[in-house]
Chain A
């Protein structure tokens, strides 16, 4: 009879300290050795992890009221603007926001040494952060100006809310032009001088649940060194099965997650302010998602290895920016991790942007929490769309006004 386990049964085992938990790396060998059925019988949860720059991240803050009170209209934290077009002392600080006086790319390539992501890390480090606000003054909120220092402990809420994280898969960026380019994929050297990729591959959360069988709204996860939840699908959630021109299949891509969690219980070494030369500032986010082994199909999905997973090779010199089709093929994560791939017949060196050792550490930490019985699984309130739903990305057309 086919094996079926429920969330409740797995949670009972976690509580009694009897759950068998493996990381997405460890499970590959077990399935190869014991086969799918036996591995499904033995294992209750598989943990995943990823630690990479994720620009669509930020934090909702509530500062508490000053005396006299203020309807903050414009807000800056260490000189970095936060969006205050919500209630009186609420603001949203985005990871890629830059100080008003940042020279950006005027001094090309710009350094982007400090931005919203760095403010988030400073808050986690317990540092004092300068808060400035201006307003027009109302009868109920008379104050028009404010300048003070805050710390993470001083304010009411700090809710990390990341609209798009944990990309299922990502491009492998190359440069076909004859000049150096500075991108969010790092520095790409001219004439196919190097290739950068950004995924934990076989450890990556959504590559281990490609059809969204278990990860959905309400899934409890490791986020920023603490606990977080899946809030919804991420923006630009276009799950698909990659195909080449000859219709060969190259595995899943395109899914994204929107994540939420209380910043106050997260850790400064797991959410890092990040600067991309010539591109901008961002936040490096740590995510670990547990996958309950409900049945053989879930187990089959988590048993994929770097040899089965592929990144599309994309030219960031022209095709990417000009929204042109790029037909440079695919590279498996096994090839990418080996240090060289072949593109257009040329052997080129590769480098990652996503830390594999840290992804491994996240998956191991989550495993430890589960084994100790500290962390119980949540059953999703609503599952997310998969490639079967055929969501198509919409393009923004520039119309004549």
Chain B
């Protein structure tokens, strides 16, 4: 089963509950934490990959605890200040979402064609391609 990427939003009073522990222990879910910003007594967010038979029950438990659960829409975007239009990503991008415009030789990014494979994120020498959750 492919893992589901979700984003959890905690309110101030759920931040200090052992929620992840319960998901593993009681619902037998496999968890990969991609990003976490959780502090006791503060609002927090966590981005997770979740897999397991009792996935739906697990989400039900989270909601019961007052955690808001949203499917994650990942997006790749270009930091225009960092991109130099060097071109190094243009033959790596599988969909030509990043492409060289001729004759100006400027690199254009069309997010409609982006399949979020994130190859450019790894390859860009100037770290101009970023993932936004």
Binding site for B on A (CB under 8 A): 51-53, 111, 113, 186-187, 189, 194, 196, 269, 272, 274-277, 284, 337-339, 349-358
Contact = CB atoms under 8 A, between A and B. Distances in A.
Interface stretch (B14-22, B43-51, B97-105): B97-105
A186 B100 contact: no
12 contacts: A53-B125, A186-B88, A274-B126, A284-B126, A338-B102, A350-B91, A351-B88, A351-B91, A351-B92, A351-B100, A355-B84, A355-B85
Contacts of B86: 51-52, 284, 352-355
B91 A194 contact: yes
Contact of A351 (B84, B90, B103): B90
Contacts of B103: 337
A196 to B, nearest CB: 7
B119 to A, nearest CB: 9
Contact of A357 (B90, B92, B105, B122): B105
Contacts of A337: 102-103, 105
A194 B105 CA distance: 17
Contacts of B106: 357
A173 B125 CA distance: 17
Contacts of A356: 85, 87, 105
Interface of B: 81, 84-92, 100, 102-106, 122-123, 125-127
A352 B105 contact: yes
Given A53-B125, A186-B92, 5 more contacts: A194-B91, A352-B87, A352-B88, A352-B100, A353-B125
A284 B125 contact: yes
A276 B125 contact: yes
A309 to B, nearest CB: 15
Contacts of B102: 337-339
A351 B89 CA distance: 8
A277 B122 contact: yes
A355 B87 contact: yes
A338 B101 CA distance: 10
B41 to A, nearest CB: 31
A94 B87 CA distance: 25
Contacts of B100: 339, 351-352
Most chain A CB atoms below 10 A, which of B92, B105, B126: B105
Nearest to B90: A351
A330 to B, nearest CB: 20
Contacts of A196: 88, 91
Contacts of A352: 86-88, 100, 105
Nearest to B101: A357
A284 B87 CA distance: 14
A331 to B, nearest CB: 15
A58 to B, nearest CB: 18
Contact of A113 (B84, B85, B105, B127): B127
B87 A51 contact: no
Nearest to B92: A187
A297 to B, nearest CB: 29
